[in-house]
Amino acid sequence: MEVRLQKYLADAGVASRRKAEELIAQGKVKVNGEVVTEMGCKIDPKKDEVTFLDKKIDTKETKMVYIMLNKPRGYLCSTSDDRGRKCVTELIDVDARIYPVGRLDLISEGMLLLTDDGELKNRLTHPSHSLPKVYRVKVAEPVGEEEYEILTAPLEIDGYTIKPVDVM
């Protein structure tokens, strides 16, 4: 079964799909000894040999990493931050390129999944899969009718309208 080269690299834990596209465009990836710089290249993982910086990549030998982390307050759900804030990946020492699955605010704490399994991350976070997100929130005072109406109304974040939330 053929797969896109950037997906193969992401599944092998080399980089995210977007970053893999950059690596391909930079000529750092070879298929069967030939440099590939075009997007959309498909490979057969059973037949083709893929190398990144002349190191053979083999997803069959790659074991995916799955980490459940109790994210403390004060950490970003990111792998890096251009403003120098602490990131959740600083809390973990693994020999894999892992990414947070989903987001918790900087001041939030709670269970967070980190993995190098791009396919799982996509299935859990992409809106097309319609998986519900559940948050447990403590409030200082009971929620009144006005606050309830605000919480359950559609909300716009960063130019996108999100679905109303259920409040129990």
> Chain-centre distance of CA 100, in angstroms?
5
The backbone torsions φ and ψ at residue 101, rounded to the nearest 5 degrees and listed phi first, read -100, 105
Cα 7–Cα 103–Cα 160 angle in degrees, nearest 5:
85
Extended strands (E) in the chain: 3-4, 29-31, 34-35, 42-43, 50-52, 55-57, 66-71, 99-101, 110-115, 155-157, 160-162
Token pair belonging to 9: 């690299």
117 is catalytic: no
Q: Is the dihedral of CA 95, 124, 57, 63 positive or negative?
A: positive
54, 105, 116, 117: which one is catalytic? 105
Residue that has been written with the tokens 């602490």 in this structure? 86
Spatial separation of the C-alpha atoms in residues 131 and 146, rounded to whole Å? 28
What are the residue numbers of the active site?
A: 105
